[in-house]
Amino acid sequence: MLVTGGAGYIGSHVVLALLEAGQDVLVLDNLSNSSLESLARVERLCGRAPRFVEGDIRDRALLDRLFAEQRIGAVMHFAGLKAVGESVQQPLRYYENNVAGSVTLCQAMAAAGVFRLVFSSSATVYGEPPQMPIREDFPTGTPTNPYGRSKLMVEEILRDLSLSEPRWNIALLRYFNPVGAHPSGLIGEDPQGIPNNLLPYISQVAVGKLKELAVFGDDYPTVDGTGVRDYIHVMDLADGHLKALAALAERNGVNVWNLGTGTGYSVLQMIHAFEQASGRSVPYRIAPRRAGDIAECWADPALAEQELGWKARRGLAEMMADTWRWQSNNPDGYRPASA
Ligand code: NAD
Ligand code: UFG
């Protein structure tokens, strides 16, 4: 099994789950947004390390070599850039990494006769859906930024690919909002610089690294005026990947599954739940809406339950407790305290 981007936040949790399930794992990561420490900790947790190659999914010669030399039956493809704001500033970098990188990966897979692929997609491909909860058969919309468009483009490329060659079997996993960390507090999300996403921001405020949270808008048509999202524990997400991979053994073509809980929480509800779990207060102020945000977004997860036998099991309190354990044990993420 090849895992691209396996040193990153979601990838490292999935690598751990794969190793614990007895799979043989090769990680390819260029470490542009991660460090090898995540995989060292994976080894501490399960007593086994994945094989690791530092390299880039855009490097076709490297991919050809890996497919020729290593036993690879399937690919889980996490590698990519994911900062929405940065994608607006640097669209070509995003299209090159996310779109061109995925094309190169698929070319190398096809050349090597490997046709099983699990792709990290996002609820962002739905754009601004007309109603909630979001089902997989809703039409894809217009994402509001290059990052989102890169995800939608890759989905469409993968659909074309599977039409052209029936041996492909592909899972498009549309994540809602991944949060949380392994319950050990040893692996978790380690954003570089100031976090873009809500929960990493809240936890850095709670730990004293940031002064206060800006709540982007309190005039949305939601329960309390703040944005509502479907936050899903990264451990549930990891489990969903293993179930999707298993299901692909009996499926062809492109399969789309939402990975969400089916429940939405507002920004203020998230702040209060975090305060309860951590015993810290999270100062915040109301700020203007953030460009490109939608009011609410949550999944109908029924299809994944029906077809994969998968369901998110961890609730909000567990998401918060695990985030807090990770953040308070590792205030500087994977960097040593002196760095
Ligand atoms: P992450 O940045 O922690 O992990 C991505 C990994 O890919 C990093 O280790 C990075 O070094 C590596 N990488 C980036 N470009 C590469 C390249 N060209 N070649 C090799 N390695 C490369 O992000 P994450 O949160 O773990 O996200 C994983 C995937 O899930 C991404 O594709 C992301 O777009 C998608 N996704 C994430 C979220 C989220 O909120 N975290 C939501 C929906 C979808
Ligand atoms: N928010 C704040 N203040 C912050 C950060 C976020 O109020 O400092 C609010 C946002 O306005 C939104 C909610 O918290 O209402 C969640 O915001 P995030 O940035 O954590 O997540 P998004 O839903 O905007 O985006 C996430 C991923 C994208 C993905 C998208 C799919 O970051 O990669 O979900 O829905 F495309």
Domain count within the chain: 1
Total H helices, total E strands in the chain: 12, 14
- Going by alpha carbons, the residue nearest to atom 32 of ligand 2 is 197
Q: Is the pLDDT of residue 15 over 90?
A: yes
**What's the CATH code of the domain at 34?**
3.40.50.720
Whether 201 is catalytic is no
Ligand approaching nearest to the C-alpha of 210: 2
C-alpha to C-alpha distance for 125 and 287, rounded to whole angstroms: 26
Distance (angstroms) between ligand 1 centre and the Cα of 11 equals: 8
The ligand 1 site (C-beta within 6 Å) comprises 4-5, 7-11, 29-34, 56-58, 78-82, 97, 101, 120, 122, 175, 178
Q: What is the pLDDT of residue 337?
A: 59
Percent of the chain with pLDDT over 90: 97
Residue 249 belongs to some domain of the structure: yes
**pLDDT surpassing 50 at residue 330:** yes
- What per-residue confidence (pLDDT) applies to 329? 95
* pLDDT tens-digit series, residues 168-186: 999 999 999 999 999 999 9
Decide if 65 is inside a domain.
yes
Q: CA of 226: how far to CAs of 75, 117, 131, 335, in Å?
A: 38, 36, 17, 33
Q: Which ligand is nearest to the CA of 297?
A: 2
Q: State yes or no: pLDDT of 339 exceeds 70.
A: no
Rounded Cα gap, residues 331 and 232, in angstroms: 22
pLDDT in tens, 55-101: 999 999 999 999 999 999 999 999 999 999 999 999 999 999 999 99
Kindly report, residue by residue over 292-314, the tens digit of the pLDDT. Answer: 999 999 999 999 999 999 999 99
Ligand 2 binding pocket includes 284 (Cβ within 6 Å): no
Q: Which of 9, 147, 201, 231 is catalytic?
A: 147
Whole-angstrom distance, CA of residue 310 vs CA of residue 304: 6
- Ligand that lies nearest to the alpha carbon of residue 83, given by its number in the listed order: 2
The full DSSP string for 41-60 is: HHHHHHS---EEEE--TT-H
pLDDT at 124 over 60: yes
Inside any domain, residue 223 = yes
Q: How far apart are CA 279 and CA 269, in angstroms?
A: 15
Assess if residue 338 is contained within a domain: no
pLDDT category of residue 335 using cuts at 50, 70 and 90: confident
DSSP letter for each residue of 174-224? EE-EEE---TTSSS----SSS--SHHHHHHHHHTTSSS-EEEE-S-SSSSS
- In this structure, the residue with its CA closest to atom 1 of ligand 2 is 198
Question: Using CB atoms within 10 A of its CB, is residue 284 exposed (0-12), middle (13-18) or buried (19+)?
Answer: middle
* pLDDT tops 60 at residue 338: no
Please indicate whether residue 195, judged by its CB atom, sits closer than 6 Å to ligand 2: no
pTM as predicted = 0.98
CB atoms within 10 A of CB 91: 15
Please give the full DSSP string across 224-278, using - where no structure is assigned. Answer: SSS-EE-EEEHHHHHHHHHHHHHHHTT--EEEEEEE--S--EEHHHHHHHHHHHH
Q: Which two tokens stand for residue 325?
A: 């354990």
Three-state secondary structure call for residue 285: strand
The rounded Å distance from CA 4 to ligand 1 centre is: 9
Does a structural domain hold residue 336?
A: no
Ligand 1 atom nearest to CA at 121: 44
**Euclidean distance between CA atoms 221 and 299, whole angstroms:** 18
Query: In this structure, is residue 337 part of a structural domain?
Result: no
CA dist 29 and 7 (Å) reads 6
pLDDT tens-digit map of 196-248: 999 999 999 999 999 999 999 999 999 999 999 999 999 999 999 999 999 99
Computed on alpha carbons and rounded to an integer, the radius of gyration of the chain in Å comes to: 19
Best CA proximity match to 97, nearest among 110, 109, 83: 83
Burial of 32: CB neighbours in 10 Å, binned 0-12, 13-18, 19+: middle
CA of 63 to the centre of ligand 2 (A): 33
Centroid of ligand 2 to alpha carbon of 87 (angstroms): 15
Does a structural domain hold residue 334? no
- Assess contact for 172 and 183: CB atoms under 8 A: no
Q: Cβ(123)–Cβ(176) under 8 Å?
A: yes
Q: Output the CA 197–ligand 2 centroid distance in Å.
A: 5
Instruction: Tell me the β-bridge partners of 121.
Output: 174
Q: What is the mean pLDDT of the chain?
A: 96
Which range marks the domain in which residue 151 is found? 2-329
- Domain-embedded: residue 205: yes
| Proportion of the chain in helix, strand, coil states, percent, rounded to 5 | 40, 15, 40
Overall average pLDDT of the 259-271 stretch: 98
CA distance 199 to 285: 16
| The two structure tokens encoding residue 129 | 């859906």
